[in-house]
Amino acid sequence: MATPRRAVRWCDTFAATNAGTLKGKRRQHLAQRWQTALAHEQTCDSLGTRIAPLKDDTQSGIAHPCRDGAGAAAQQACSMIAALITAAAALQPARLRHRAPRRTVRAASATDATERESYLQYNAHAWRGVCRSVVVDATRRRVDYDAELDGKRYSAAVKRRANGDLEERFSWDDDDAIDTTLPSKDVVCDFDGSYSCDRASSLVAGTAPSFTIETGLAVSDEARIRVVAMYDGATGLLKRIACLDEQRVGATESTGGAALAAEVDDVFAVAGEWAGDATVRRPDNSACRVLKQDFILRCDGERFYRGLEMRMPGDLFSTDAKTERTLLESYGEVSEPGLAYDSVVFREDGAVLCILPGCYALCPFALDDGKAFFVEAGCFVDEDDRQGQLPISVRKGIMMEGDPGTSSRFLARSVRLYAPKRELKSVTTSYHQLVDGD
């Protein structure tokens, strides 16, 4: 089993070594933002680390002249010492940290490629796509072929409003159009244009809207995948999982050689070890953290293993010392042969993993308002035209440990974590490289 090499820093030399691989103004600008954010965080972290011991001491139980009534002179002396330490820390060189930068979200504008603005610019276009879909019998815990929607082609015209909402007219080639609005406040986005949300929507004209959890993943500058999990609004039972494979209208080719790996369509094709990084965001984008994450998928034909190892601070939104732990391990039963698409039932978790061409979704069979749950979606991407670190990795904000591997296959994931009563708590987006395939 191959093991990725660790602790080799590439981001400081990225601009010099990979300038020739960046294609398009959007990628060049994001690469510059990467370097600026890294320098800013290194300075802030250096100052905060040096001042922390002074703050901790003032909260300890040790006798302290400024707290124990030693007089105004002692109090003034402590204040002077604190000021000297602060000034000295500011003059010290920043310590380098082997991790990706914390990104600061600012207000979007017409010229500033923030995460919100990039999301709007990337998605507000005309798209042409094909639907891959399954229907789910949550009571029997069974996934079946969707004769109504699978294989159908459609057009999606997406326009942005002045308030940041997106309006979409979704039109099947042989059916009526469906008009929907995606409010900006309901979207958690990444600066490559990827996003996720939940909303009331339908893929069939004239039917009642479902509670839909939608994940949009950028495959390249001209292609995206949307994975939707649709739940019955009254019962909370999962009823459909669909993948919308879309190309931007007028696009000639995928920039950077990125393309959806549509041949990854069964339990054996997805298997392997995937190493990469993840970004955890709060719903209001008030804070985010970048951490290391390794994803393992194994299958023997009947049983399916899924493991997730995450190295992170004790508090995701702090700068505490890192710890290493296994976040998740689960085993599922592979669906019976002969079905249109492979699926895996995780009975202990009450969830199903459905594998569609080039992508997958992991969803609970039912939503219980009294329980927490998560919905995960991912897509597999081939990057054949690459030199060193991938341009798409820069768009995703990913800094991989070690030298870039030899595999050209990558996995983009998004996980939405909910508290009881369907309250969104966090969104994790990650990008992984295949380091050991089955």
The one-letter amino acid at 229: A
Distance separating alpha carbons of residues 269 and 262, to the nearest angstrom: 10
* CATH number of the CATH domain containing 252: 2.40.128.20
Please report whether residue 105 resides in a domain.
no
Distance separating alpha carbons of residues 125 and 46, to the nearest angstrom: 43
If asked whether residues 207 and 244 sit together in one domain, one would say yes
Please report whether residue 10 resides in a domain.
no
The continuous run of DSSP H or E covering 398 comes out as none
| Number of domains present in the structure of the chain | 2
If asked whether residues 142 and 209 sit together in one domain, one would say yes
The continuous run of DSSP H or E covering 18 comes out as helix 14-18
Please report whether residue 46 resides in a domain.
yes
Bridge partners, residue 198, by sequence: 213
Identify which of 401, 301, 294 has the alpha carbon closest to the alpha carbon of residue 344: 301
- Supply the pLDDT for residue 46: 44
Domain that holds residue 369: 115-437
The one-letter amino acid at 290: V
Q: What is the DSSP string of 145-189?
A: E-TTTTT-EEEEEEEE-TTS-EEEEEEETTS-EEEEEE-GGGEEE
Contact 116, 105 (CB under 8 A): yes
Q: What is the DSSP string of 409-437?
A: EEEEEEEEEEEGGGEEEEEEEEEEEEEEE
**DSSP helix, strand, coil percent of the chain (3-state; round to 5):** 20, 40, 40
SS3 87: helix
Please report whether residue 259 resides in a domain.
yes
Pairing mode, strands 258-260 and 238-248:
unpaired
What does pTM read for this prediction?
A: 0.70
CA angle, 40 as apex, 282 and 92 as ends, to 5°?
130
If asked whether residues 173 and 239 sit together in one domain, one would say yes
- Supply the pLDDT for residue 282: 87
If asked whether residues 227 and 151 sit together in one domain, one would say yes
Distance separating alpha carbons of residues 104 and 236, to the nearest angstrom: 36
- Supply the pLDDT for residue 286: 65
Domain final residue pick, 76, 91, 106: 91
The tokens of 355 are what? Answer: 């594998």
Bridge partners, residue 205, by sequence: none
Task: Write out the chain's pLDDT in tens, 438 residues.
Answer: 444 333 333 333 333 333 333 334 444 444 444 454 444 444 444 434 433 333 333 333 433 333 344 455 545 655 665 565 555 444 444 333 323 322 233 333 333 347 888 899 999 999 999 999 999 999 999 999 999 999 999 999 999 999 999 999 999 998 889 999 999 889 998 878 899 999 999 998 888 889 999 999 999 889 999 999 999 989 999 999 999 999 999 876 544 567 899 999 999 999 999 988 888 888 876 667 788 888 899 999 899 999 988 776 555 444 454 555 666 789 999 988 767 899 999 999 999 999 999 999 999 999 999 999 999 999 999 876 543 333 333 334 444 444 456 788 999 999 999 999 999 999 999 989 898 765
If asked whether residues 62 and 184 sit together in one domain, one would say no
Please report whether residue 106 resides in a domain.
no
If asked whether residues 61 and 126 sit together in one domain, one would say no
Distance separating alpha carbons of residues 251 and 40, to the nearest angstrom: 36
User: Which residue is associated with the tokens 């970048």?
Assistant: 290
The tokens of 198 are what? Answer: 């939940």
Identify which of 12, 96, 29, 7 has the alpha carbon closest to the alpha carbon of residue 391: 29
